[in-house]
Amino acid sequence: MVDKPTTIKLDQIAEVISREFKDKDVITCYLGSNAATPTAAIEALTAAVKAGNPRLPFIRMVHILLQGPVPYVEEGLQDRIMTYSIFSAGDVRKAANEGNAYYLPCTLANIDSLIGKGREYAPDLAIFKVRPHEITGEYSLGLSVEAMHTAIDQARCVIAELDFSMPFTEGQTIVDSQSIDYLIDDDDVKPVYAFPGPDFDNLPAEEMRIGELVTEHFIRDGVTLQAGIGQIPDAVVGTIKRAGYRDLGVQTELYGDGLMLLQKSGIVTNRKKKQHKGYSTASLIMGSQELYEFVHMRAGVQMRPCAITNAAHVIRINSPFISINTAMGVDLFGNVWADYIDARRYYSGVGGQPDFVRALNDPAYGVPIIAFKSITDKGESKIAKVHPPGVSLTASAYDPVVIVTEYGVADLRGLTAGEKALAIASIAHPKYRDEYLKELYDDPMFTKPVGFCLGKKPRGFIPYGGKVQVD
């Protein structure tokens, strides 16, 4: 006889935790994430924490990006519940900057090193969403696999929200019924988070120029792609579609509408991949309702833990590999940062960017691209003379990355420190470019390439040569 999970309602979750952990004063909980954030369970648990009834142990909440409200981070609850966020936005970002939440720096490939057996944040409790299969009765993690299997294996108590709004995805998403202790079957469970799909034909000019630069200079038939969600990856996708490349593969932490578009168009076939041949691999899926309908029961999109999708050896096996990520900024030495604005303003997390940068440390494997608009919405340059002191770096001056803005490409691979500075300065916004170049030229202590003069194109710099105009 196969053991089945005990069915409960949302208002019973605190009672279950109190009973299961009556012998403990402190527990660690790992939460499902991203589009599959178990918001209803979070809200029910927060209500019990606020009420102080039943008695609950102090709870350390560990997770990557959470969508929707996260009420337990509000001020005044930190003596009863505290978040340790690996990647943040919204409520959690605000709480971290106010001292009411902790940022736990870790790349996605290394989450197991935090939550595995005997590790500091090995979970006692796991809470996440599942979608049952209508025929087999199996449970799927759906949109969020990331490190959930490790969390489930370590947890003494496993609680899953039953959610039919989530697609049943293929690959390493299956959770057997014996591994789930409690199944929340409640009409008040909130659906997965869906977002409007991008208009790939009408993206802003700056992003379109970046897309053209990446596509023209780095995309080729048969390459394997990693791309995140956002206007810049969307622009790359749009230009790839128009360029008509063939037999692309996908191995990515996050699969969104853009990669779906390429797969629907027959441009992504995964035919040339050496590992996971014939299907796209991802650890997370997030985007539109159309995307969720596309991945439901689709063998051509399969899920893997981020310890696999972001593993250096798997990335290298699937070379030639093109990784496309963005960042908060880069300095003239080639240092890149993504999780902080400055040492006192936390923004998000390092995510998987360092995993792909380090995996592609030899051009034989592919190209790690960092792409962003040259200025912020406030007109401040994203290219700085030096990086903000105290921030962590997702790529350092010794990492062979390629930086792309709407003004061109700075291919830093194999350049000297002086050549890197000149190439990076050359892709800065015109408001700042001449100042940077002149300062580098006039500084007698700055080691410049022999024969360099203002107006001469530095090594590694490729200017934008297309037709898209920007203001």
Catalytic residues, by residue number, are 253
Partners of 383 in beta bridges: 330
Q: Is 326 exposed, middle or buried (0-12, 13-18, 19+ CB in 10 A)?
A: buried
CA dihedral sign, ordered 163, 165, 166, 168: positive
Distance (Å, rounded) from C-alpha 42 to C-alpha 452?
59
Distance (Å, rounded) from C-alpha 312 to C-alpha 251?
12
Tokens 């409790």 label which residue? 125
Is-contact 227 249, C-beta < 8 A? no
Tokens 């990647």 label which residue? 87
User: Residue 437: in which H helix or E strand, if any?
Assistant: helix 430-442
Distance (Å, rounded) from C-alpha 451 to C-alpha 164?
66
Q: How many CB atoms lie within 10 A of CB 159?
A: 26
Distance (Å, rounded) from C-alpha 240 to C-alpha 164?
34
Hey, what amino acid is at 44? A
Pairing of strands 139-140, 125-132: antiparallel
Distance between alpha carbon 338 and the CA centroid of its chain, in Å? 11
Extended beta strands in 93-173, E state? 102-103, 125-132, 139-140, 157-162, 170-171
Angle between helix 39-51 and 13-20 (nearest 10)? 70
Residue 232 backbone phi and psi in degrees, to 5: -70, -50
Is-contact 139 130, C-beta < 8 A? yes
Maximum CA extent, the chain? 80
Angle between helix 231-243 and 205-218 (nearest 10)? 50
CA dihedral sign, ordered 31, 32, 38, 41: negative
List Cα–Cα distances, 462 to 8, 177, 382, 412, 466, in angstroms. Answer: 60, 55, 18, 11, 12
Hey, what amino acid is at 388? P
List Cα–Cα distances, 368 to 105, 226, 266, 385, 433, in angstroms. Answer: 21, 9, 24, 22, 24
Residue 177 DSSP one-character state: G
